[in-house]
Amino acid sequence: MFVLDTNVVSELMRPAPEPRVFEWVDAISRNDLFIAVFTQCEILLGIAKMPHGARRDVLAARAGIMFSDRFHGRILAFDSLAAVHYVDIFTSRGKLGRPIALFDAGIAAIARANGMAMVTRNVKDFHGVGLDIIDPWSA
């Protein structure tokens, strides 16, 4: 099973997603693809920060479809086990001199708590967090 990073979900929301990403996602059973609640936060926050207008409205509609249809029942919450993993990920990366962004640490913690692989373009952002990492742009 797989947790899709925000950049993968954003790519899937584009009118013409990168073919390699679309093909990789399409080849996986829908029931094996999940997102973390922090990905939903990042996308909704990005849309909320946009100026009002047609582009924002289109992205908001696509996000609504993404969260209510494509990933219905497969948005993973941040729970107590994820909190334990979060602290480990955040502190261990800091000790290595490679701090990790708060949302990235949360997404990684949720993936680790659920025993899932991470699917992202930003491989270096998740290096050393104890996850199998897949880059669908190069897969």
Binding-site entries: 5, 104
- Residue 61 CA neighbour count, 13 Å, CB half: 7
In whole angstroms, what is the distance from residue 75 CA to residue 39 CA? 9
Q: Which residues are annotated as a binding site for Mg(2+)?
A: 5, 104
The partner residues of 75 in beta bridges, in order of sequence, read 35
Distant-in-sequence, close-in-space partners of 100: CB < 8 Å, separation ≥ 6: 89, 90, 93, 94, 108, 125, 126, 129
Closest C-alpha among 135, 84, 75 to residue 105: 84
User: Are 75 and 63 in contact, with CB atoms under 8 Å apart?
Assistant: no
